[in-house]
Amino acid sequence: MKNDKFSLKLGEKNLQVEINNLAEQAAGSAFVRYGDTLVLTTCCMSKQDRENLGFFPLTVEYQEKYYAAGKIKGARYIRREGKPSDEAILNSRLIDRSIRPLFPKGLKREVQVISTVLAWDEENDPDILALISASIALSISNIPFAGPIGAVRVSKKDNKLLINAKYEDRNSSSRADVIFVGVEKDKQVLINMIEGEFEESEEKDVLNSLEFSLKDIKRLIDFQKDIQKKLGKEKIEVEEQDIGDFKEKSEKFLKQIEKVFFEKDKQKRSTGLDEIKNNLIDFVKEEYPGDDNKIEQAKELFDREQDRLLHENIIKYDKRPDSRKLDEIRELSCQVGIIPRAHGSGLFSRGPTKALSVLTLGAPGDQQLLEGMEIVGQKRFMHHYNFPPYSAGETGFLRGPGRREIGHGILVEKALRSLLPAVDDFPYTIRIVTEILSSNGSTSQASVSSSCLALQDAGVPIKRPAAGIAIGLVGNKVLTDIQGPEDYHGDMDFKIAGTEKGITAIQMDVKIKGITLDIAKEALQKAKKARLEILAVMKKTIAYSRENLSPYAPRILTLQINPDKIREVIGPGGRVINEIIDQTGAAIDIEDSGLIFVTAEKEEAAKRAISWIKSITREIKIGEVFEGKVKRILEFGAFVEILPGQEGLIHISKLSDKRINRVEDVLRIGDRVLAKVISIDEQGRINLALIKK
């Protein structure tokens, strides 16, 4: 069996690569191991072009396998992997965003990359290994690919930067967790993908993290080039279609684009461009009847002309489609409390882009349970992002959230979660849903602002307000607050969110090969200036979180009890706790430490449940007198409930000064009696004496 092995010291461990023929039908495959975490990535390409396709058909799948973690999971009756977890979807997007710009534009064959986690050691994250193994598999295959890429995770612990740190080090107090992906061009490392989370880090600290990553990215690229040199296959050449004659015939339509392209009003611009495009397609149908390929060429020419116009006008004249300056933000407006009965709501508008966020507070028991291969536990803060078809003036199917929606939702979570109060101070589960009502670019960053407004409106005591901005690039010109055409035809989408104190989340994608450190520095500086402008507008609407929660939000009261008393609160088969829930309508969550959370719609109900639990768990002393109810009668005595869920025994000998032959001669079930505590044994059993019936 073919088996080539390679190794590179990366961070604290050796990165081990094995190329063999186990997946021999694939165009390229690579096993990559770090510690005992092992990932296999394969790539395949179809033999023929996809006809009449206006985009590159790349699919990336990141597969979590329960066996990799030694787990048996899944639905109760179907013990196998189901739909991908959010973590798997995010990792698929990480790979896709990193490699997509590196394929030739004319490639129309389907390419599929599949990364499978074969083993996970609970210390080393498979996502970096998936990125590296995808790069190696593509580099040694016959698929045209302008890689390889180098990918590292930079974390911060005790003010020290680490490469590919273990989970425990990544979760340290000085939080910084960011993935940088780079590619080499003219012996210089360019950054082509960033995904990260910070704890209000200054721009210089983010840049330090980026600079720190470059050395190891370069080492990874050189390492892969050596593998490619030894094992790489000859690449398939992509032939550019000759459209010279066709372009000349289409010129009269292409010349009409410029006038419409720089129309400030989005609706007029979209309508005008659609009309020109439809006229061009009708012309092509008449000139080349039945030739669908020519129609696709016409659409491509149409896009290319817009791309040319955008680049030429911005690079030469600093002229943007809506005539803004390069660092100018669109008109901003904010509102809060606009949804009746919602626990919190915020509307953020930036030009035609409008994001509505609605917040709901819940009990600790409402937290999302996470049971994936890698991520387990509970999730207290959730942000869900929805992008309905009407937001872009289109029709479409309303299915579940797609990869983009999941990715944008979690990006907002990253931007805000370090600003939330500690669980001990604010034990609520928090869910925010953002509905994009109208879209013209930068909707994810609008969602950061609208979600922050909703948090403040709900009275969640966040550290500081946060906002987000998307920074673009056209040629060598950096743009602030990119809109639709600048996003679609531009070279970069750099999303940066944070507070006035620093950055909390960043995400960058490019359509070119990558960006330099200088461009990244300029983008961060412009983002800070824009972020402060946005925060100033937001603060005019609501500067701080409201002092009180919405009257429609549930109330949570807490109580600390002796952990040994938990079983008394729960009762046999849950009888006691279920009775409290049924009688008060409150939700009760109990932690192993004895901390109890009581959640109810009305504070009075929560107080009633707390009082009930206190009476159950309070220490009973010898000599105390209780009025109780006879619950059970046995031959040797009667059991009396002296406190909710707590019973004591009145032995038959303690029912009277006289001799009693039958308990029933004195007591009946349901009788209310006055009884005195005469002893408590080592097992906590309470013995009573009857005082009065």
**Structural contact between residues 176 and 500, judged by C-beta atoms closer than 8 angstroms:** no
What DSSP string describes 235-285? PPPPPPP--HHHHHHHHHHHTTHHHHHT-SSHHHHHHHHHHHHHHHHHHHH
Return d(Cα 435, Cα 389) in angstroms, integer.
11
Task: Reply yes or no on whether the pLDDT at 177 is more than 70.
Answer: yes
Residue-wise over 550-565: b if at least 16 C-beta within 10 A, else e? Answer: beebbbbbebebeeeb
Q: Is the pLDDT of residue 301 over 90?
A: no
Task: Share the mean pLDDT of the chain.
Answer: 92
Stated as kind and residue range, the H or E segment containing 568 is helix 566-570
Homologous superfamily, domain 625-692? Nucleic acid-binding proteins (2.40.50.140)
In the Cβ-directed half-sphere of 113, how many Cα atoms lie within 13 Å? Answer: 32
101: helix, coil or strand? helix
**Residue 646 confidence (pLDDT):** 79
Question: What pLDDT score was predicted for residue 693?
Answer: 64
Closest by alpha carbon to 428, among 361, 379, 368?
361
Per cent of the chain over pLDDT 90 is 66
pLDDT attached to residue 537: 98
- Determine which of 307-311, 435-439, 613-617 has the lowest per-residue pLDDT on average: 613-617
Given a cut of 80, whether residue 244 has pLDDT beyond it is no
Mean pLDDT of 264-270: 83
What does DSSP assign to residue 344? E
Asked if the model's pLDDT at residue 242 lies above 80, the reply is: no
Indicate whether 148 pLDDT > 90: yes
Is the per-residue pLDDT at 590 higher than 60? yes
Closest C-alpha among 219, 155, 218 to residue 190 = 218
Is the pLDDT at 1 greater than 70? The verdict is: no
Query: What confidence score (pLDDT) does residue 220 get?
Result: 98
Q: Tokens 């046999």 identify what position?
A: 572
CATH superfamily placement of domain 3-231: GHMP Kinase, N-terminal domain (3.30.230.70)
CA 196 – CA 194 distance, rounded (Å) = 7
Q: What residues contact 586, with CB distance under 8 A and at least 6 apart?
A: 580, 598, 599, 600, 605, 606, 608, 609
Whether 145 has a pLDDT exceeding 60, the answer reads yes
Selected residue with higher pLDDT from 97 and 1: 97
How confident is the model at residue 172, as a pLDDT? 66
Q: Kindly state the average pLDDT of the residues 617-643.
A: 87
- Gap between the Cα atoms of 189 and 192, Å rounded: 9
Residue 184, strand partner residues? 189
Q: pLDDT at residue 193 above 80?
A: yes
The pLDDT of residue 659 is above 90: no
Q: Can you read off the two tokens belonging to residue 362? A: 């819940």
Q: What span, in angstroms and rounded, lies between the C-alpha atoms of 673 and 667?
A: 9
Residue 170 scores a pLDDT above 90: no
Write down the residue that tokens 């000599």 correspond to: 623
Q: Which helix (H) or strand (E) holds 520?
A: helix 517-541
- Read off the pLDDT of residues 58-78 as tens digits, 9 standing for 90 and up: 999 999 999 999 988 877 778
Q: How confident is the model at residue 217 (pLDDT cuts 50, 70, 90)?
A: very high
pLDDT at 658 (0 to 100): 84
- Which conformational region is residue 64 in: left (phi greater than 0), alpha (psi within -120 to 50 degrees), or beta? beta
Q: Please report, to the nearest 10 degrees, the dihedral formed by the alpha carbons of residues 72, 75, 79, 81 taken in order.
A: -80
Which DSSP letter does residue 623 get? T
Mean pLDDT confidence for 509-536? 97
* Contact (Cβ atoms closer than 8 angstroms) between residue 589 and residue 599: yes
Please give the average per-residue pLDDT across 667-692, as a whole number.
87
Which residues, at least 6 apart from 488, have a Cβ–Cβ distance to it below 8 Å?
none
CA 20 – CA 24 distance, rounded (Å): 8
CATH topology of domain 332-541: Ribosomal Protein S5; domain 2 (3.30.230)
Transcribe 36-93 into DSSP letters: TEEEEEEEEEEEEEPTT-SS--EEEEEE--GGGGT---SBTTB-S--SPPHHHHHHHH
Question: Three-class SS of residue 402?
Answer: coil
Q: Where are the domains of the chain?
A: 3-231, 246-317, 332-541, 555-617, 625-692
Say how far apart CA 92 and CA 94 lie, in whole Å. Answer: 5
| Residue 644: pLDDT over 90 | no
Residue 559 has pLDDT above 80, yes or no: yes
Query: Contact, 348 vs 330, CB < 8 A?
Result: no
Strand order of the sheet with strand 381-386? 332-336, 344-350, 353-362, 429-438, 381-386
Give the three-class secondary structure for 331: coil
Q: Which amino acid is at 254?
A: L
- Cα dihedral angle (591, 595, 599, 602), rounded to 10 degrees? 170
Is the pLDDT assigned to residue 441 strictly greater than 90? no
Cα 288 from chain centroid (whole Å): 48
Max mean pLDDT among 368-377, 386-395, 660-669, 674-683 falls in: 386-395
Secondary structure of residue 516 in the 3-state scheme: coil
Domain 555-617 sits in CATH at: 3.30.1370.10
Region 400-404 average pLDDT: 92
Helices of type H across 156-265: 167-170, 203-231, 244-254, 257-261
Centre a 10 Å sphere on the Cβ of residue 689 and count the other Cβ atoms it contains. 16
Task: Say which CATH topology domain 246-317 has.
Answer: Arc Repressor Mutant, subunit A (1.10.10)
Can you tell me the distance from the alpha carbon of 510 to that of 96, in angstroms, rounded to the nearest whole number?
11
Least confident segment among 308-317, 523-532, 550-559, 636-645: 636-645
- Would you state the pLDDT for residue 456? 98
Q: In whole angstroms, what is the distance from residue 37 CA to residue 124 CA?
A: 6
Asked if residue 174 has pLDDT above 70, the reply is: no
Cβ distance 196 to 184 under 8 Å? Answer: no
* Helix then strand then coil, % of the chain, to nearest 5: 35, 30, 35
Please tell me which residue, 321 or 238, carries the higher pLDDT value.
321
Burial class (CB in 10 A: 0-12, 13-18, 19+), 607: middle
pLDDT tens digits for range 106-125: 888 999 999 999 999 999 99
CA-nearest of 409, 421, 478, 490 to 450 is 409
The predicted structure's pLDDT at residue 466: 98
Query: Cα(236)–Cα(674) distance, rounded to whole angstroms?
Result: 94
386: which strand partners?
A: 435
Rounded CA separation 494/444 (Å) = 11
Distance CA 590, CA 578 (A): 13
Q: What is the rounded average pLDDT of the residues 475-490?
A: 94
State how far the Cα of 32 lies from the Cα of 329, in Å rounded to an integer. 44
| Closest by Cα among 500, 481, 499 to 490 | 481
Quick count: other Cβ atoms within 10 Å of Cβ 663?
19
